[in-house]
Amino acid sequence: MAFLILQLGGVDMLTDRFLEGWGWLEQAPPVVFFATMAIALLFPTPASVFYVTAGSLYGIVPALLWIPPTLLLNNLIVHWASTSFLRPTVERLVERRGRALPSLETKADQRLFITLIRMTPGVPYFLQNLVLALAGVDRLPFLLISVSVQMIYATGFVVLGRSAFEGELGLAVFALALIAAAAVGARLVHKRLQPAPAASFETSGANVPGDGD
């Protein structure tokens, strides 16, 4: 019982610290907010929380101007990590288990795979980054496709955040419709593209796991 009480106390303290930190972040200049966002998205942090908050704090147009370079910085860090130390480390771990990471042989395969992962419904942004980093895709298509697709969702959540701040029901309906349309469109694109990259994966000494993860 004492251990449980201590655990609950620790959780409460952690929650209070998080709320204090988030409150400070909301009062910080935009450059601090979006720099924090770029780093936070390297971890299992919901991107939508930052989008909604940015919309409510800075307005639709300023938020949408800040978000692309923020995502670009985040993706640059992810790609640098994947080409410098992350992928080789994971490759060694996988090889010890008698398997190999999939490799995408052509640029067309890479573009298709990036689009497929970015538009897969329900996959958190952090996990998308991890999958693409381990796939060893080229930097330029990784950056361009990633930011372009993510901005579709970002726009909806930014508008939603601003509508909540201003109490604009019509704006909120538009934002929800945009998010829903993006989700439906993503499902259609995902369904259409899913078989194509599966046939183009080639591995050395191992089979590629199926899509049921």
Please say if the pLDDT value at position 166 is more than 60: no
Phi, psi (deg, nearest 5) at residue 103: -125, 140
Decide: 41 and 47 in contact? Cβ < 8 Å.
yes
Q: What is the mean pLDDT of residues 99-115?
A: 79
Residue carrying the six token digits 């080789």? 88
Which is more confidently placed, 200 or 38? 38
Q: What is the pLDDT of residue 70?
A: 97
Q: Is 164 exposed, middle or buried, given 0-12, 13-18 or 19+ CB atoms closer than 10 A?
A: middle
pLDDT > 90: percent of the chain: 21
Q: Say yes or no to pLDDT of 205 above 50.
A: no
pLDDT of res. 51? 92
Rounded Cα distance between 55 and 62, Å, is: 8
- How many Å apart are CA 105 and CA 194, to the nearest integer? 17
pLDDT of residue 1: 38
Tell me: pLDDT of 207 over 90.
Answer: no
**In whole angstroms, what is the distance from residue 130 CA to residue 100 CA?**
16
Tens digits of residue pLDDT in 116-136: 888 877 788 888 888 887 788
- Confidence band, pLDDT 50/70/90 cuts, at residue 24: confident
- Choose between 114 and 200: higher pLDDT: 114
Residue 142 has pLDDT above 80, yes or no: yes
Give which of 72, 59, 144, 61 is closest to 110, Cα–Cα.
144
Q: What is the pLDDT of residue 39?
A: 95
6-21 confidence digits (pLDDT tens): 444 555 665 666 566 6
Give one DSSP letter per residue of 113-157, joined into a string.
HHHHHHT-TT--HHHHHHHHHHHT--HHHHHHHHHHHHHHHHHHH
What whole-number distance in Å separates Cα of residue 5 and Cα of residue 119?
A: 43
Residue 129 makes CB contacts below 8 A (sequence gap 6+) with: 41, 42, 74, 75, 78
Please give the average per-residue pLDDT across 21-47, as a whole number. Answer: 86
Taking all residues of the chain, what is their mean pLDDT, rounded to a whole number?
A: 74
Does residue 61 carry a pLDDT above 60? yes
